[in-house]
Amino acid sequence: MFRDEGDPRRAEVRRSLPPGCRMGMANGKNRGLLIGAAMALALGVILLAWGVSGLIGSRSTSPATRAAHAVAVPTAAFARPRAWPCPIPGNFKSIDIPVGLLCDYYEHGIEHAPPRDPSGVMQKRERFYAAPADPLETIPAHLGSGVDDRACLAKLEAWKSAWLHGDPAEPDALKALEPSCLASSLTSDVLIDAGRAIDWIGGDEGAASFFRVGLAKAEAEYARTSSGDPAGIPLLRALDQTKALWRIKDWIDLQSRFTLATALNVPLSPEERRAHYLVADMLYNRVPLRRGR
C-alpha cells in the first residue's frame, strides 16, 4: 500500500509488526533476488548448450557439403603481373630491381657505442642523406686525360660491360678497379659517393672496393685538417653511410673509417668519443685475422 521507502507511515507500520513478521519481509526480498539469479544462470546454461551444439554440428558437416557452400573468388585479375610495354625496341628480359633503403646505408645499432643517447641520436644522421649519383656518369666526368685516369676509365668500362651482360666475373672486375682508382686523380668524396651507388647495383663487395680506395685517399687529403674543422663535416656524413663494410665484416677498413672520424670530430665530443670506442672495437675484431683464423 505504501510504495515510498521514505514514507514515515510505512516505517511506523514496520515498527508495529512483531519481529517474526519483519524477518519474513526481509526473507521475501532475498528470495526474489535468489530467484532472479537462478533464472539468469539457467538462461546462461541454455545459451552455452546451444552454442556447443552448433559448433559440433558444423564440425560434423562433410567436406563435400562445406565445399558446395564455398564461394570462389577470382584472383587472376590482381595476381597476374601487369605487362608494361617497353619503349625501346628489342628483346629484353625482366629483372628484379632492389629497393634502396636508408637502413641499408646506416648502421644504427652497433655504432651506438658509448656515450649512448636514447633520444635517437643515431637516427638523426639520416637527415643528411642524399641519393648518390650515377657512378657511370660521375666517375668519367671527374677523370682527366692522364695515363692513370685513362686506365681507370678503361677498367670502369670493362666492369660496366660485365654488369650489363650479367657476367659472373663482375665482382672481380670491380676488385681490379682498386689500383687504378687509387692511382687516378679521383678524390675521396667522388669515390665514397660511387661506393654508395655501387652498393645498390653491384653489392657490398663492390661498394667496399670504392670505400676502401676512398678511405685511403681521405687519409691523405685530410691529414692536415684539424679536429673540429667544418671542412671535414661532408666526409664524416659520407662515412656514416658505409654499412656495407659491417655486412662483409671488413674490420680493417672500418678501423680506418673510425680513425678518421676520431681525428676530424670535435675533441671530447660524443661523436669523437664514440668513434674512439669503435676503433678499439675494430682492433678487437681483427685479432682472429692476425692469428690466421
Query: How confident is the chain (293 residues) per 10-residue block, as mean pLDDT?
Result: 53 55 52 76 80 63 58 59 69 70 89 90 92 92 94 91 75 84 96 93 90 96 96 96 95 96 96 96 79 48
pLDDT at residue 8, as a whole number: 61
pLDDT at residue 84, as a whole number: 65
What is the C-alpha to C-alpha distance for residues 88 and 94, in angstroms, rounded to an integer? 14
- Which residue type does 195 have? G
Three-class SS of the chain:
CCCCCCCHHHHHHHHHCCHHHHHHHHHHHHHHHHHHHHHHHHHHHHHHHHHHHHHHHHHCCCHHHHHHHCCCCCCHHHHCCCCCCCCCCCCCCCCCCCCCCHHHCCCCCCCCCCCCCCCCCCHHHHHHCCCCCCHHHHHHHHCCCCHHHHHHHHHHHHHHHHHHCCCCCHHHHHHCHHHHHHHCCCCHHHHHHHHHHHHHHHHHHHHHHHHHHHHHHHHHHCCCCCCCCHHHHHHHHHHCCCHHHHHCCCHHHHHHHHHHHHHHCCCCCHHHHHHHHHHHHHHHHCHHHHCCC
Q: Which residues of 233-258 are buried (b: 16+ CB within 10 A; e: fewer)?
A: eebbebbbbbbbbeeeebbebbbbbb
- Answer yes or no: pTM beyond 0.75: no
Neighbours of 166 (CB within 10 A): 9
What is the C-alpha to C-alpha distance for residues 198 and 206, in angstroms, rounded to an integer? 6
pLDDT at residue 63, as a whole number: 59
pLDDT at residue 1, as a whole number: 44
pLDDT at residue 68, as a whole number: 57
pLDDT at residue 187, as a whole number: 96
